[in-house]
Amino acid sequence: MSTLENKIAIVTGASRGLGEGIAVELAARGATVVCADLHSAEDTATTLQSAGSPKSSSAKVDVSSAASVDELVGSTVETHGRLDIMVNNAGIYTYGAIADVTDDDFRRTMDVNIGGVFNGSRAAARVMKEQKSGRIINTASQLGKLARPNEGVYSASKAAVILMTQALGLELAPYNITVNAICPGCMHTEMMEKSFAEIAQSEGITLEQKLQDYLDAKIPTGRFGTLEDVGRMVAWLASDEASFTTGSALNLTGGEQVFF
């Protein structure tokens, strides 16, 4: 297992789901984690502290606001003296045909999903360039590589994350900073179960049957992704073992994208 001892990390969107899983794994490997979210991430921070990461903490942030993100990064550096790992994970999901998506929904999706990555990466890069070291990891999606009906706005925002990751990887390589994106597929979270339950109800079948049908049709490995899967990939990208990996967008899908 790669170690992250004495590393200082920020994870946005850390109150639940993928962000919580990432924060837990980074702390388990020795990092001190600032768990940041628009809503309270105190529960996540408490979990990390109880598990042996006493300096981990929570913070409020609106990733769509450059001032809010700059304040988060600045306070982290003021408290801990440095920033080693920036995980731009916060995001929102928008569903609907492009012709039907409202202006407000479009702008909000872009402000959070790509604006948040821009704000977080820029603030982190300014610190990491001075340090001559760092890791920036962005949460994209398999839908940033392949589109599906009614998910075009979300897909476009995540495709932008992938291309910004590539550009940042090139720009920051001379400073010993790597920049990578993860592209999760269907991960087993509360949000996913809620979505599948609604679809199952509309089709007149049970949630369990809908989940199994999806696995059989879409995922060759025969299971959904877990928070632990996501956490382990991010922890590896944050480690010294991944020092030669930059500008990449790594699939975490169980092979699902092959069946689109």
- The pLDDT, as a whole number, for residue 258 is 67
Per-residue pLDDT tens for 146-167? 988 889 999 999 999 999 999 9
Cβ-contact 28, 5 below 8 angstroms? no
Within 142-216, strands assigned E span: 177-184
Stated pTM of the model: 0.95
Strand 8-12, strand 177-184: pairing: unpaired
Q: How many CA atoms lie within 13 A of 195 on its CB side?
A: 11
Identify which of 63, 70, 86 has the alpha carbon closest to the alpha carbon of residue 136.
86
Give the Cα separation of 79 and 77 in Å (integer): 5
Q: What is the residue whose two structure tokens read 């990449």?
A: 248
Burial of 222 (0-12, 13-18, 19+ CB in 10 A): exposed
Per-residue pLDDT tens for 32-45? 999 999 999 999 99
C-beta neighbour count of 104 within 10 angstroms: 8
Is position 175 annotated as part of the catalytic site? no
Per-residue pLDDT tens for 61-115? 999 999 999 999 999 999 999 999 999 999 999 988 999 999 999 999 999 999 9
Q: What is the residue whose two structure tokens read 């704000």?
A: 119
Q: Six-digit token pair at 219?
A: 């995922």
Per-residue pLDDT tens for 10-35? 999 999 999 999 999 999 999 999 99
Name the catalytic one among 93, 95, 154, 175.
154
Cβ-contact 180, 165 below 8 angstroms? yes
